[in-house]
Amino acid sequence: NQNEPDVTPSAYDVAVLEAILDRARGSFALVEFNRPGVDSSAFGKKLTSEPGIFKLAIEGEWVWVSRFMLRLDAKYPFYSSKPYTLTLDPQNIVAAGESFTGPTDFTLRMQDFATEDLSLNTAPVRGAPGSVQIRGSVEFTRDVDAEELLKDSWLDDPHS
């Protein structure tokens, strides 16, 4: 999910436009700013000072992926069922002489894991009266490992 601050910064202040978690895998968080927070020499470099802290704690590396966007690459995935509070430290975000305005606390969460689509088709099995072959597909709101899914899947025949 995302948090969009209810603030209109001045043209000279750095402010957060949006803060989100990677909804598919939970592997990163992004913070988008209204104007550049750093110059282009900072792209792709790990930050030496933590620009933000998550509660529930999450380990990872903060990197500027553009002049307007900061990303935390998580060491372990974010939990899909738990909310996280991100508290930013403006002193570790804006360059000297820049000012930061607006909220510094954001509540983030991943999309809940759910089934988006399920389709099943049956066809009679030749030479096996009363038997059917079942083919189908299932789509979830997040990526899943097919082998792990099969370990936890089964079919029940209500007539047996």
If one counts the domains in the chain, the total is 2
pTM check: above 0.75: no
Find out whether 113 and 123 touch, Cβ atoms under 8 Å. Answer: no
Shared domain for 24 and 41, answered yes or no, is yes
7 and 76 fall within a common domain: yes
Q: Judge if 28 and 53 occupy the same domain.
A: yes
From 9-13, 16-20, 74-78, 97-101, the region with the lowest mean pLDDT: 9-13
Domain span at 147? 115-151
Average pLDDT value over all residues in the chain: 87
Whether 101 maps to a domain, the answer reads yes
46 and 70 share one domain: yes
Query: Are 17 and 83 within one domain?
Result: yes
User: In a 3-state reduction of DSSP, which class is residue 78?
Assistant: coil
Give the residue, 3 or 26, on which the prediction is more confident.
26
Neighbours of 27 (CB within 10 A): 15
Q: Given a cut of 80, is residue 37 above it in pLDDT?
A: no
Distances 115 to 140, 146, 157 between C-alpha atoms, Å: 4, 14, 21
Is residue 100 located within the same domain as residue 23? yes
Tens digits of residue pLDDT in 82-129: 899 999 999 999 887 888 999 999 999 887 778 889 999 999 999 999
CATH number at residue 87: 2.60.40.1220
